[in-house]
Amino acid sequence: MTVEGKVGIKETKDVLKFGILAEDAIAAAKADGKIGFEDLGLVVGLVGPLNGAIEGADQIPAELADLDAGEFDELVAVAKETVNDFTPDDWEAYVWAQIAAAKEFLIAIKLIQS
């Protein structure tokens, strides 16, 4: 639910989830010391989250510009629910790093699409 006049953080949540899921997929693929054809299922599992992240990626700058402490707490909660197999020392830094990395990846995807 967004407060009247607030932009909300739906798209930022989507890109955060995608970043975390992509990180998990890469870690799982590398777990046996190599990335190969057998890891294709991990990539396929990212298609849904990638589509969700791409669709509203252009709204993320406005969402981040309007971000308040409560919304950031929501992002940290999303990260905690999504992360598998490890616990970051600093959740706030982890969330910002994931958002930054995912935003750059999505910019590259949009450039490829245009």
State pLDDT tens for residues 30-60: 999 988 899 999 989 888 888 888 888 888 8
pLDDT for residue 91 is more than 90: yes
Q: Residue 70 corresponds to which tokens in the numbers above? A: 């409560």
This prediction's pTM: 0.83
**Mean per-residue pLDDT of the chain:** 87
pLDDT for residue 1 is more than 50: no
